[in-house]
Each structure stands twice: as structure tokens, then as C-alpha cells.
Copies of this chain bind each other. A is one copy, B any other.
Amino acid sequence: MDLWFGELHTDNVKLSIRVEQQVFHGESEFQHIDVFDSPEFGRFLTSDGSVIFSEKDEFTYDEMIVHVPMAVHPNVCRVLVLGGGDGGVARELSQYDEIEVIDVVEPDKLFVDVCCKYFPDNACGLRDSRVRIFYEDGLKFLRTKSDDYDLIINDCTDPLGHAAGLFTKEFYGSCFKALHEDGIMVYQHGSPFYDEDEETCRAMHKRAYRSFPISRVYQAHIPTCPAGYWLFGFASKKYHPLKDFNAARWNARHIKTWYYSTHLHRGAFMLPRYVEELLEEEENG
């Protein structure tokens, strides 16, 4: 059998993954969800035809969105994860003993159920006793919170689709309000390479830069993302991602990683010139 899953990264570029079998298809009020087994990326999940994560490369994303802020903030007790229904972010967070609460706000119960059934290595993170799952809209949840969290992780994947409310100006303001006075927010910043993604990337940085005293961008290489290149935003009230980064403290934890290291932490903030320039244009514009 010659079966391929294909995803248009733009109208003019397509990544195709050979598939052994489709193991799930379902539809919620939010999205179509499909799960496939593949020889190259293992099992992977798609939402409305876009790869959300695969067994083979999810570690990069989950490690980079969790360990970067955790190696900067000196004492994270309360964490809010927006999206994150697959459990990968909660799994990485669960390695930190000082965390007391991990609130996961995922509007789509089907997404959680599918991940629990088909991706136990991610979903195990949701079984940690500190995790509370709220099947709610992230923005509505946020509006009720004030001075409540040390870290907010925006794990929503789709800035122009059903999660678009999580990338508005109001959203960044609500996050600011929901954080403690030394809180940090990290979020997916998209891929800056293709022209059609560049505008989203610019708009996100502009909003974060105007909402938080400190706003920096860092990068990772994720093969199933458009152009294989993904950015993350680090928006913070007090701590700088490099000046307040404590490598010795993080290394003393002996957390096993495949992508993140304290050496890589610094390098992840050293961006290609064309990315630096487009971010600076939004800062000055």
C-alpha cells in the first residue's frame, strides 16, 4: 500500500509523510482530529489536516516551551497551560517538585480523550495529581484570573483558526493580569520563513512587546513544522531569559532531555539576522 498524508505548508510547498494506517478519525465542535501511524514519525495527530505533534519530534516542542522558562524563574508554584490537552507540556512540568498546581484549560474534550487513548506517553502528564483539567474556553477562563500564576504556557497551535482568540491584544493583557508580579508567559510564535507566516509572527511580537516589560523570541528546529523552523515567545514582567537564567540550578535537577540543554538555552535566543530584523521592525514600528 502506498498511502501518504500531505500537508500544504503554504499553497506552494507540501510535506508528505508515508502512512501505515489511519487509527482514528473524529470530529468535535472545534476541529477534525485524525491519528495516523507512520514509519518515519511514529504515531502523529492532525487537526483539520495540520500535524499537531508526532511521537518522533514532540520532545523538541514540549521541552523548549517548558524548560526555557523553568530555568529562568526561580520559584514556579502555579502554572496555567492554555491548550495542552495532549499532556506533553504537563508531562515536562511534572518533573519539577516545587510546582503545586498545573491548570490545563482545553476547550475540546475529544482532543484530550483521543490523546489519552492513542498517545499514553504524552497523556501520562495529565495524570499527575497536581493537574486540573478545565474543559473551557481559554480566554474566558483567563478573564476570571488575577495575580494567580507564576507561569502561563500558551500551548495553542493555531493562531488563525479556532484558537484565534488566544492571540489577540486582549489575550496578552489578560495574561499579564493573571500573572504574579514576577510572572512569565511563553507562547508559540510560529514559523517566520514563508511570507504568509511572517505577518502572523510580526503581529504576535508587536502585541507581546507592548504588553510586557521583557519580550524576547527563541527558536527550535521541528521537522514537521512549516520550513522545519519554529519560534517561541518569552514575555515576562521581571525575569530576563538570559540575564536571569540559572544554568547551574537547572542542571542540578538532573532532568533527562533530548533537545534542551542549558548550553542550547543560550543559543536558542541567538536568531538569524532576518528574524532579528523583522522583530526589531515591530519593536520600533
Contact = CB atoms under 8 A, between A and B. Distances in A.
Interface of A: 4, 6, 10-18, 38-41, 60, 193-194, 219, 221, 223, 227-229, 257-261, 263-264, 266-274, 276
Given A264-B273, A272-B259, A273-B259, A14 B16 contact: yes
Contact of A228 (B4, B12, B221): B221
Given A13-B40, A263-B270, A266-B270, 13 more contacts: A6-B16, A11-B18, A14-B16, A15-B15, A15-B16, A219-B221, A258-B273, A260-B273, A263-B271, A264-B270, A264-B271, A267-B270, A267-B271
Name the residue among A10, A18, A60, A272 with the largest chain B CB count within 10 angstroms: A272
Contacts of A13: 15-18, 40-41, 223
Contact of A194 (B40, B266, B276): B40
A84 to B, nearest CB: 22
Contact of A40 (B12, B41, B267, B276): B12
A38 B274 CA distance: 22
A193 B268 contact: no
Nearest to A229: B221
Contacts of A274: 258-259
Interface of A is mostly: mixed
A40 B272 contact: no
A35 to B, nearest CB: 17
A40 B228 contact: no
B258 A264 contact: no
A277 to B, nearest CB: 9
Nearest to A274: B258
A146 to B, nearest CB: 37
Given A13-B16, A14-B16, A39-B12, A193 B223 contact: yes
Nearest to A226: B223
A270 to B, nearest CB: 3
Name the residue among A228, A263, A271 with the largest chain B CB count within 10 angstroms: A228
Contact of A4 (B14, B15, B221): B14
Contacts of A223: 13, 193, 227-229
Given A13-B17, A18-B13, A272 B38 contact: no
21 contacts: A10-B40, A12-B38, A12-B39, A13-B17, A14-B16, A15-B16, A60-B272, A221-B227, A228-B228, A259-B272, A260-B272, A263-B270, A263-B271, A263-B276, A264-B270, A266-B266, A266-B267, A266-B270, A267-B268, A268-B270, A270-B270
Contacts of A219: 221
A276 B16 CA distance: 28
